[in-house]
Structure 1
Amino acid sequence: MSTWRFDAIGTRWEIDTVEPLSIEQRARVAAVISGFDATWSRFRADSLVSRLSVSGGSVETPADAAAMLDAYRELSDATAGAVNPLIGESLNALGYDAAYSFSAHEPAPAPGDWQSVLNWDEERLVLASAALIDVGALGKGRLVDLVTAALDDHDGGLVVDASGDLTVRGDSRVGLEHPFDPSKAIGIATIRDQALCASATNRRAWGDGLHHVLDARTGVPARTWAATWAFASDAMRADAIATALFFDGGPALAEQWGVEWVRMSTAGIAERSPDAPVELFMRKD
């Protein structure tokens, strides 16, 4: 087994293959990540979303916009507005900003009418006024899918892991990290030719109860659930459901999309969908 480790989009990546990736394959992966980051990173002043955030505007629709924003529309509807792609300024207000200041100010709700502020079709993406797009609810999963697709010509098994969001070509067993003790697992997942995405309040957390999963309606971090895991045929939908599961409506959307899942409450109780490919080690509801 060969492992290629590198840092990108602010996180650690590992790509495991039976045979080492070629120079050309690594170059393709790097180009895919670079292009995605240049468009969607709110941590880069020169990215498309950062430039649009100043006063809005109209641009040619980026390649990934329709897939991600169409999914956001379903996420927003399912969670009664708790998930919203214009949550960038809400994250900034709590200190999760481009400078990683982690200096929290008054919580700031995201625009509730985001679908009238942000519009897109096959040709143009239009931001009607200043707002900061953040695709964090599903963007890393989308990028994992793009990187995996860039390696379609690689024979044999493959694991693309972006620190908790991963795709597997072949078979793999993965521990589900306990959100209160990273040295432990709450269960083991058995994955075959699918994606697993996880989200937890102990990751990208700072201050007193502050973390990256915000309720867009209030700008305040989610409090009921501590960690989520979702299994799907693609990482973008798994990532999206891993976010939606922090809110009411998440399980219903997962069923609609055919996504299996597990989540653990802040009280330490686990829930799961009936066919989640997981052996749990803890008490379940």
Structure 2
Amino acid sequence: MPHAGWQDFRFDGIGTSWEISTPVPLSPGQRSSVLAEVERYDSTWSRFREDSLVTRISVAPGQYELPREATGLAALYRQLYTLSGGAMTPLIGESLERLGYDPHYSLQPRGEAAPPPAWDTVLEWRGTSLRTTAPVVLDIGAAGKGQLVDLLAEQLRGHGVTDFFIDASGDLLHGGQEPVQVALEHPYDPGKAIGTVPLGSGALCASASNRRAWGDGLHHVLDGTTGAPVRTVVATWARARTAMEADALATALFLVPAEDLERYFSFSWLKVFSNGSAEYSAEFEGALFT
């Protein structure tokens, strides 16, 4: 619990565990509203549901109308796609499914790693309008959970709840001003921490290759230029104003030099490599354990 005496609302959504902490318990109506928004988002963007819009897009090419949050996703993904030379792409779902991270969670590869199609050959995404020229498997997991955190925060504020702490299994958003001390999970031992960081108002999101790993060295952070898992970086953290941006940048740090990202985004960061070394920005306040 981030603050003594705060009340927790725990639930599962989009395949992970959530916890919203507030000074006063959320009312039944507020809780129902939160759960309805989670269901709406999942029914649009999940590639693990047969009834989702993303699943329909994966079946047949055509023109699709997306909900309002698609505008922010499109702009952010396009910028990071360009900065990464195609390594970070919303089309990575096809490569993930090829390696076994499919809607049935088979975790059985059905071939060698392969890159997804290039954005401009199959996809035209402008705001809430999406047109495809072939069936494509969208996967907005690198930014989607963070965006849903922001949407729930927007909803809480709409209900007059301005002090809150949202924890979406490592994607954190603090709505209050009093800093909360947050532990940084050890990339090889979830029961340990490699350090702590104070989180004031804003977001802190993490990405780690151990979070969704299977088979022989397979995990969910793929390089879109090869379709293969990233090997050199094992964990990242990004602090930004919004959870969507922090979430996306945490993944981008696996694929793009931090100094390139800093030219376009205002954020602080920590990156841990497979050899045990770490790099971090001067603004990333906190303490790493030795």
TM superposition score category, shorter chain reference: over 0.9
Aligned with 2:190 (options 182, 202, 227): 182
CA drift at 1:124: 2.3
Aligned with 2:249 (options 230, 235, 241): 241
CA drift at 1:156: 5.3
CA drift at 1:123: 5.5
Q: What's the CA shift string for 1:212-238, capped at 9, x where partnerless?
A: 000111110000001000000000000
Query: What's the counterpart of residue 52 of structure 2?
Result: 47
User: Measured at CA, do residues 127 and 250 of structure 1 come closer, stay the same or move farther in structure 2, by a change above 3 Å?
Assistant: farther
Aligned with 1:258 (options 258, 266, 270): 266
Aligned with 1:148 (options 141, 149, 153): 153
- Indicate if the aligned counterparts of 1:241 and 1:250 stay in contact, CA closer than 8 A: no
Quote the RMSD (CA, aligned, Å).
Answer: 1.3
User: Measured at CA, do residues 123 and 280 of structure 1 come closer, stay the same or move farther in structure 2, by a change above 3 Å?
Assistant: closer
Return the TM-score normalized by structure 1: 0.95
Query: What's the counterpart of residue 3 of structure 2?
Result: none
Q: How does 1:197-236 map to 2 (within 5 A)?
A: 197-236=205-244
Aligned with 1:167 (options 173, 176, 188): 173
- Indicate if the aligned counterparts of 2:166 and 2:173 stay in contact, CA closer than 8 A: yes
User: Measured at CA, do residues 156 and 146 of structure 1 come closer, stay the same or move farther in structure 2, by a change above 3 Å?
Assistant: closer
Query: What's the counterpart of residue 277 of structure 1?
Result: 285
Q: Equivalents in 2 of 1:176, 1:251: separation in Å?
A: 22
- Indicate if the aligned counterparts of 1:61 and 1:124 stay in contact, CA closer than 8 A: yes
- Indicate if the aligned counterparts of 1:245 and 1:251 stay in contact, CA closer than 8 A: no
User: Measured at CA, do residues 275 and 25 of structure 1 come closer, stay the same or move farther in structure 2, by a change above 3 Å?
Assistant: same
CA drift at 1:169: 1.4
Q: Equivalents in 1 of 2:119, 2:261: separation in Å?
A: 20
Q: Per the alignment, in what secondary structure is the counterpart of residue 256 of structure 1? A: coil
Q: Kindly provide the amino acid, as one letter, of the partner of residue 180 in structure 1.
A: Y
CA drift at 1:208: 1.1
Q: Kindly provide the amino acid, as one letter, of the partner of residue 173 in structure 2.
A: T
Q: What's the CA shift string for 1:80-102, capped at 9, x where partnerless?
A: 11101011110001111100000
Q: Per the alignment, in what secondary structure is the counterpart of residue 119 of structure 1? A: strand
The ranges of structure 1 where at least 4 consecutive aligned residues each deviate by more than 2 angstroms after the TM superposition are 120-124, 153-157, 248-251
Return the TM-score normalized by structure 2: 0.93
Q: Which runs of 5+ in 1 are unaligned?
A: none
Query: What's the counterpart of residue 105 of structure 2?
Result: 100
Q: How does 1:107-146 map to 2 (within 5 A)?
A: 107-111=113-117, 113-122=118-127, 124-146=129-151
Aligned with 2:83 (options 78, 82, 89): 78
Q: What's the CA shift string for 1:56-77, capped at 9, x where partnerless?
A: 2112232111100110111111
User: Measured at CA, do residues 281 and 193 of structure 1 come closer, stay the same or move farther in structure 2, by a change above 3 Å?
Assistant: same
